[in-house]
Amino acid sequence: MTLNHINLSVPNVIETAGFFEKHFNFKTQKAKANTIAILEDEVGFVLVLSNFPNTASFDYPADFHIGFYHENKEKVLEIFDKLQADDLALTQEPGLIRDRFGFYFYAPGRILVEITCAIV
């Protein structure tokens, strides 16, 4: 079995889709105004962003997050620097997270995102 997609409810589909395209190399496959966007990454994982009337004010539970695992510390730092240069409000410097190196931040739509790699 393979997890092939996740659907995240966000208040602004267009803004959030643009963020994931710019910073995480997702490509929009389909979009319908500010209602839904279907994005795919380079390995075929599908990220669905939606804003349907019954979920427009939805808040994620504490600690709910998505994570991106990278090959090395340099890549994690590169992503951090790129996000910081884009004026994203980052409240945590990269550092030790359990037995990994990385950081958390909030993407548009109040999606908590973890960026990590193994410590070698």
Residues near 120 by beta carbon (within 8 Å), at least 6 away in sequence: 72, 73
pLDDT tens-digit series, residues 81-104? 999 998 888 888 999 998 999 999
CATH T-level fold of 1-56: 2,3-Dihydroxybiphenyl 1,2-Dioxygenase; domain 1 (3.10.180)
Dmax over Cα atoms in the chain, in whole Å?
46
Residue 67 carries which side chain, given as an amino acid letter?
G
Q: What is the pLDDT of residue 34?
A: 87
The span from the CA of 10 to the CA of 69, in Å, is 23
Strand, helix or coil for residue 13? helix
Class of domain 59-120: alpha beta
